[in-house]
Homo-oligomer: A and B are copies of this chain.
């Protein structure tokens, strides 16, 4: 029981291979009679085009690869990925492109991705959580394949287009809110300093605080809950009188809350806590987190749109920054 080929369809429709191909690809020059006959034959035979054969001659892959470059396994729990993946699948499917997932944690992984792309098996690359200095990015750049990042790649902002939320602006929103609430000694727990979320959320924080910002009130985390707990402990030890902390992610804020509770601090009475992301943990903590909402679906949509533009041959594309929104709950 072999799969029907374009020949079978052609025979069933009483036309030639070429005509079937033209119908398949929406070519203008095909008579209505031929088109109808072909369409019926396709339906009757249950014909499905063989993408391999097509790709072989067109030199187009018909797929896009999403590369998850997260060296730290733990962080993959990040619920944000799900939204991005889902959105990407949908948008690409509308263009009959499939989404292939790859991981680029270590050198071996990166090599695999590179070979895949070099083999011409992807029409574009969607970068996800790429850290500064990732060798993969330069390698991809050399291959001249359309590549877009979901969130900026630090140091590569002008070479890899991206869509991202206004990290800096969002951080300013939160910081300003904490100030407005009368908080005097505001600390921050940042993300890794080789990611846009790490760097730019800190920038927004210091931007807003001006010379009131103090090095003593800055601690670094790695996005994980545990790192949030530990950073909070360090902050409390160094500055027991702090009255607010802005955590660069909700997950880290969850950790900070636990440390604060263990230290007997009431939230928000003694210490206000602000998060970032508005992921689902923000609703589950006690008290629920006041946080910065980043429209992940929209960011994913834009990322894919830019990639499609590039695949379609756009010379120059603009990176996109979408605004964030302050979501006030109970922690601040």
A268 at the interface (CB under 8 A from B): no
CA distance A267 to B112 in the complex (A): 50
A63 at the interface (CB under 8 A from B): yes
A141 at the interface (CB under 8 A from B): no
A89 at the interface (CB under 8 A from B): yes
Binding stretch for chain B, among A51-59, A186-194, A198-206: A51-59
Closest residue of B by beta carbon distance from A109: B93
> Would A77 and B115 count as touching, CB distance under 8 A?
no
A225 at the interface (CB under 8 A from B): yes
- Identify A254's interface contact among B55, B85, B120, B284, CB under 8 A: B284
CA distance A281 to B282 in the complex (A): 10
> Would A98 and B103 count as touching, CB distance under 8 A?
no
Residues of chain B within 8 A (CB-CB) of A89 are 101-103
Binding stretch for chain B, among A10-18, A42-50, A158-166, A177-185: A42-50
Q: Which of A205-229 contact B (CB under 8 A)?
A: 225
> Would B286 and A119 count as touching, CB distance under 8 A?
no
Closest residue of B by beta carbon distance from A3: B120
CB distance from A286 to the nearest CB of B (A): 3
Among A83, A118, A120, A281: residue with most chain B CB under 10 A: A281
30 sampled A-B residue pairs with Cβ under 8 A: A3-B118, A48-B120, A50-B119, A51-B119, A52-B52, A52-B53, A52-B56, A63-B100, A76-B82, A76-B86, A77-B79, A78-B82, A85-B101, A89-B103, A98-B101, A98-B102, A98-B121, A99-B101, A99-B102, A100-B100, A225-B284, A251-B280, A251-B284, A254-B283, A257-B284, A257-B286, A258-B288, A261-B286, A281-B281, A284-B285
- 4 tightest CB-CB pairs across the interface, nearest first? A286-B286, A254-B284, A48-B119, A52-B52
